[in-house]
Amino acid sequence: MSGTGDMWQQAADKWSEVTAQIQEADWDKSTTCAEWNVRELVDHALSWQAMGGGVLGAGTTPGDDWATIQPALATALHDPANLEGKSEAFGGMSHRGVAGMVIGDLLIHAWDLARSIGADETLPEEVVESTLMGLRRLPEKMLRGDTMFNEPIDVPEDATNQEKLLAFVGRQP
C-alpha cells in the first residue's frame, strides 16, 4: 500500500484531470451536491485542501488556488513529521486523520465533479479502498447529517469498491 503522500497524489491527479476538462458553460451546472453548482463545488474542495494543508505543514490557506495548493500539500504529505500530532482546527483529530479526510474529500469531490461535467468518473482503486476503510472507522454521528455525508445508499454485495464508497457517502453510483 502506498504512503499518505502517494495516496493524496493519486487523488490530486484525478482532481487535476477532471478540473482541466471544465468548460466555461460548466461553471453554473448543478452537481451531485444539491447545494452547489460546479463553481461552488470547486471552491469548497479547494478551501478544504488549503485548510488541511495549513494544518499539515503546507502553509496553505483558504483562498489559495490549486496551482499553489497542489505542490505545497504534495510536499507536506511526503514528510512524515507533518503527520504527527493533533489539530485543534479539526477538533483534536490526529494529523494522520486530517490527511485521511483531505484525501477522501478530494477523491469524492473529484467524482462529484466528473459526474457533473460528464468526465470519466473512474477513481484510483487503491485510494478508494483506503478511503472506504477509513470512513467506516469514523463514528456515524461525525459522518452523517449537515456536516459531511447523507445517509448511505444500498448497493448489491457484488458492487465495486468505488460503488461501495460512493454509496457509503450517500452518492448514487
Residue 6 in this model has a pLDDT that exceeds 90: yes
pLDDT averaged over the chain?
Answer: 93
- What are 39-50's pLDDT values in tens digits? 999 999 999 999
Identify any residues that bridge with 159 across adjacent strands, giving them in sequence order: none
Identify any residues that bridge with 149 across adjacent strands, giving them in sequence order: 144
Residue 163 in this model has a pLDDT that exceeds 80: yes
Strands 93-94 and 86-87 come out as: antiparallel
Long-range contacts of 76-82 (CB under 8 A, 24+ apart): 77/4, 77/5, 77/8, 77/9, 78/3, 78/5, 78/6, 79/5, 81/57, 82/56, 82/57, 82/58
Cell numbers at residue 104, please? 477522501
- What are 112-156's pLDDT values in tens digits? 999 999 999 999 999 999 999 998 887 777 776 666 787 889 999
Cell numbers at residue 115, please? 459526474
| Distance from C-alpha of 71 to C-alpha of 123, rounded to nearest angstrom | 21
Q: Can you give the residue ranges of every domain in the chain?
A: 4-168
Residue 38 near residue 31 (C-beta atoms within 8 A) = yes
Note the CATH architecture for domain 4-168: Up-down Bundle (1.20)
pLDDT at 96: 95
Residue 21 in this model has a pLDDT that exceeds 60: yes
pLDDT at 136: 87
Q: What pTM did the predictor assign?
A: 0.93
pLDDT at 145: 61
> What percentage of the chain has pLDDT greater than the value 70?
97
Q: How confident is the model at residue 172 (pLDDT cuts 50, 70, 90)?
A: confident
